[in-house]
Amino acid sequence: MKKLRLWIIFTFLGALFYRLGGQIQTKARDLGLPAIATVYLLILGLKCPWWAYLLHFGLLFGALTTYWKKKDQDAKWWNWLLTGLGYSLAAIPIAIGTNHWLGFGIRCIVLTAFITLWSEFIGDVNWEESGRGALIILTLPILLI
């Protein structure tokens, strides 16, 4: 029950930081969400070297800074596909450190697909951005597989 509550709390925090980045300042998203995700990975108890967590933070930070499009252009479905893939691949150091390649692969497919679909079909910016942040955290336990 405690793990479920933590999952919900961290998912909410992920949604909040992602949305704050769209409303107030992008650094709230770019730094806050990788911090929340990395702390949650530590709480999940994944046994991996310290450098894997550090690299995960850095790669997720980098992935959160782009939608893979030119400025002032609307994002297309392929931009969201690349965005979801970038978020997914940020966990590659965790896969290397834990040797949980099946979970990493499943999460890549699930997170990439859901980021793409969510971003294409949800029209309200509050729900859209919050949902992307929530999805990043919601799918982290898949890395345990």
How many distinct structural domains can be found in the chain? 1
Q: How many residues are recorded in the chain?
A: 145
- The DSSP secondary-structure symbol of 141 reads G
Looking at the whole model, is its pTM more than 0.85?
yes
pLDDT, tens digit, 9 for 90 and up, residues 20-48:
987 677 888 999 999 999 999 999 999 99
- Residue 6: what pLDDT? 96
Q: What are the strands, taking DSSP E only, across 3-144? A: none
* Separation of alpha carbons 8 and 4, rounded Å: 6
The whole-number average pLDDT for the span 79-105 is 97
The whole-number average pLDDT for the span 82-109 is 98
Structure tokens that stand for 28 in this block: 């709230």
- Residue 73: what pLDDT? 83
* Separation of alpha carbons 34 and 38, rounded Å: 6
Structural domain including 67 reads 2-144
Structure tokens that stand for 84 in this block: 């979801």
